[in-house]
């Protein structure tokens, strides 16, 4: 959340300086786009080359841009439509600039549609292997399409359900930059504006290394990366290229383990004592680190190599399709899963799993039993009144019909949960109904 505010303040500062600069207003003949520096809409790149020479401007229908803004503006669809790839990716990673950018773009739509960007005929040189790999057929694309529809969705839902939101940074800081459309070199130059920001600068350096490696060495088959935790050790025995490729991701894996370890170290005192100790916390951290590594690699490698394969072979329409599908599927699904998990009236998936481990502790069960008996003795009158509210069994032809009548008392339930929260966490107490 703090980092989100940091990004929002920096963006607001740029917007203030850009919108109220008289020379920019006169130059563009209307309200300028504060994110133009990202997309190469005028100005100069780091190398002193004019971005205008790399792109040309075309007009696109305003009503189409408005429709994209209205339906999927929070994912940057209207910016993708008008050729503003980098700012579109930033919108997709921040829910439309935390909603503020999406709302402000309603005023900018005439400018965005009237000055839609299209790459000029200048293209990036193709690697030697591109022509050979360009023969990838429809079946290969269908396989990659199915993966991009299912795997990111499962990954995001699992991260949300088990409170591993830090793993979602994989999509935002690695997968999204790898899905940059158009010339990757120019896009990376434009993203230099945010290269000094924490974390993002490291992610850009990682993407550059991947870009250089896959320009020199063709990505292996899609199935190889789909089973990368198994195929990589086997290939690394004889292939120096496979070892070098794993070296690119080695630091990423180490950083992932560090993040999981720090997460459990910070949450230890609030989650595990007194009935779960350091050994239990270490077991949780180890299990989740292993699952995070396997899940992240299985997600990261196929999507990353697919992005570079389609980029270098010139099949960027396929890359755009896959990138759009990943965003359109994962973001709403993640938000819906978060809302359902937090508003279901019970414990979250992570809390239920922790409670199962806690219930295996004899001391915890003994304390819980004693607390429950004391609670029932103290509230015996209220419990009896709730039982009297249970409807009488239905009788049919002289025989009672079995029913599943349950007496519910919201106030007693809340009191009991507060009692249990003294022995476990509040999230775990919500499992008791």
pLDDT tens track for 62-115:
888 888 888 778 777 888 788 777 777 778 767 777 788 888 888 888 878 877
**Are 309 and 336 members of one domain?**
yes
**What is the per-residue pLDDT for 377?**
83
Mean pLDDT of 316-343: 77
- Give dist(CA 85, CA 358) in Å, integer: 48
3-state secondary structure of 57: strand
Mean pLDDT of 280-290: 86
- Give dist(CA 56, CA 419) in Å, integer: 67
Last residue of a domain, one of 318, 343, 368: 343
**Are 256 and 393 members of one domain?**
no
Is residue 373, in this structure, part of any structural domain at all? yes
Is residue 348, in this structure, part of any structural domain at all? no
Is residue 125, in this structure, part of any structural domain at all? no
More confidently predicted of 260 and 120: 260
Last residue of a domain, one of 303, 324, 343: 343
Kindly tell me if the per-residue pLDDT of 231 is higher than 80. Answer: yes
Contact 143, 222 (CB under 8 A): yes
pLDDT tens, residue by residue, 217-228:
888 888 899 888
- Give dist(CA 152, CA 389) in Å, integer: 47
Last residue of a domain, one of 119, 138, 159: 119
**Are 291 and 190 members of one domain?**
yes
Kindly tell me if the per-residue pLDDT of 259 is higher than 80. Answer: yes
| Number of domains, the chain | 3
**Are 201 and 339 members of one domain?**
yes
The CA-atom distances, in angstroms, between 3 and each of 94, 191, 198, 232 are: 11, 18, 9, 35
- Give dist(CA 120, CA 186) in Å, integer: 12
Q: Which of 5-14, 130-139, 188-197, 360-369 has the highest mean pLDDT?
A: 360-369
> Which DSSP letter does residue 123 get?
-
More confidently predicted of 166 and 407: 166
Is residue 174, in this structure, part of any structural domain at all? yes
Q: Is the dihedral of CA 146, 152, 155, 156 positive or negative?
A: negative
Is residue 292, in this structure, part of any structural domain at all? yes
**Are 108 and 146 members of one domain?**
no
**Are 258 and 139 members of one domain?**
yes
The range of the structural domain enclosing residue 193 comes to 130-343
Q: Distance between alpha carbon 395 and the CA centroid of its chain, in Å?
A: 54
Confidence band (pLDDT; 50, 70, 90) for 5? Answer: low
**Are 158 and 228 members of one domain?**
yes
- Give dist(CA 352, CA 348) in Å, integer: 6
Contact 356, 283 (CB under 8 A): no
- Give dist(CA 64, CA 41) in Å, integer: 20
Residue 50: asked if its preceding bond is cis (omega within 30°), the reply is no
Is residue 392, in this structure, part of any structural domain at all? yes
Q: Which residues pair with 119 in a beta bridge?
A: 55
Is residue 124, in this structure, part of any structural domain at all? no
The CA-atom distances, in angstroms, between 266 and each of 66, 188, 224, 423 are: 45, 35, 37, 19
**Are 55 and 148 members of one domain?**
no
- Give dist(CA 155, CA 167) in Å, integer: 9
Kindly tell me if the per-residue pLDDT of 123 is higher than 80. Answer: no
**What is the per-residue pLDDT for 243?**
92
Confidence band (pLDDT; 50, 70, 90) for 52? Answer: very low
pLDDT tens, residue by residue, 336-346:
888 887 776 66
**Are 77 and 136 members of one domain?**
no
**Are 186 and 329 members of one domain?**
yes
> Mean pLDDT, the chain, as a whole number?
73
Is residue 180, in this structure, part of any structural domain at all? yes
**What is the per-residue pLDDT for 46?**
38
Q: Distance between alpha carbon 337 and the CA centroid of its chain, in Å?
A: 12
Confidence band (pLDDT; 50, 70, 90) for 240? Answer: very high
**What is the per-residue pLDDT for 197?**
59
């Amino acid at each position: 959340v703090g980092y989100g505010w940091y990004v929002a303040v920096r963006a607001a500062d740029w917007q203030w300086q850009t919108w109220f600069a008289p020379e920019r207003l006169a130059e563009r003949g209307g309200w300028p786009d504060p994110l133009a520096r990202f997309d190469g809409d005028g100005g100069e790149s780091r190398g002193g080359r004019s971005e205008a020479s790399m792109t040309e401007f075309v007009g696109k229908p305003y009503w189409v841009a408005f429709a994209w803004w209205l339906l999927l503006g929070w994912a940057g669809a209207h910016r993708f439509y008008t050729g503003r790839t980098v700012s579109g990716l930033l919108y997709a990673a921040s829910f439309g600039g935390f909603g503020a950018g999406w709302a402000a773009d309603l005023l900018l739509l005439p400018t965005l549609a009237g000055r839609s960007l299209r790459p000029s005929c200048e293209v990036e040189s193709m690697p030697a292997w591109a022509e050979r790999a360009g023969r990838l057929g429809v079946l290969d694309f269908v396989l990659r399409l199915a993966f991009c529809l299912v795997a990111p969705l499962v990954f995001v839902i699992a991260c949300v359900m088990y409170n591993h939101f830090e793993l979602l940074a994989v999509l935002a800081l690695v997968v999204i930059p790898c899905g940059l459309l158009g010339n990757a070199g120019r896009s990376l130059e434009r993203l230099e504006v945010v290269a000094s920001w924490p974390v993002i600068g490291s992610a850009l350096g990682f993407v550059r290394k991947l870009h250089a490696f896959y320009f020199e060495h063709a990505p292996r088959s899609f199935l190889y990366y789909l089973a990368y935790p198994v195929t990589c050790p086997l290939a690394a025995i004889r292939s120096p290229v496979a070892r070098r490729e794993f070296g690119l991701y080695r630091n990423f894996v180490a950083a992932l383990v560090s993040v999981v370890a720090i997460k459990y170290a910070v949450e230890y005192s609030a989650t595990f004592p007194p009935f779960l100790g350091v050994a239990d916390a270490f077991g949780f951290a180890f299990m989740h680190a292993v699952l995070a590594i396997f899940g992240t690699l299985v997600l990261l490698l196929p999507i990353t190599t697919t992005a570079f394969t389609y980029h270098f072979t010139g099949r960027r329409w396929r890359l755009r399709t896959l990138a759009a599908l990943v965003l359109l599927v994962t973001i709403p699904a993640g938000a819906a899963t978060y809302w359902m998990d937090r508003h279901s009236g019970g414990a979250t998936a992570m809390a239920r799993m922790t409670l199962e481990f806690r219930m295996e502790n004899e001391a915890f069960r003994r304390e819980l039993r004693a607390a429950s008996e004391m609670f029932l003795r103290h509230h015996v009158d209220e419990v009896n009144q709730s039982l009297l509210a249970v409807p009488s069994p239905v009788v049919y032809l002289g025989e009672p019909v079995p029913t599943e009548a349950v007496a519910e008392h919201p106030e007693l339930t809340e009191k009991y949960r507060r009692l249990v929260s003294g022995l476990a966490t509040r999230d775990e107490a919500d499992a008791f109904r």
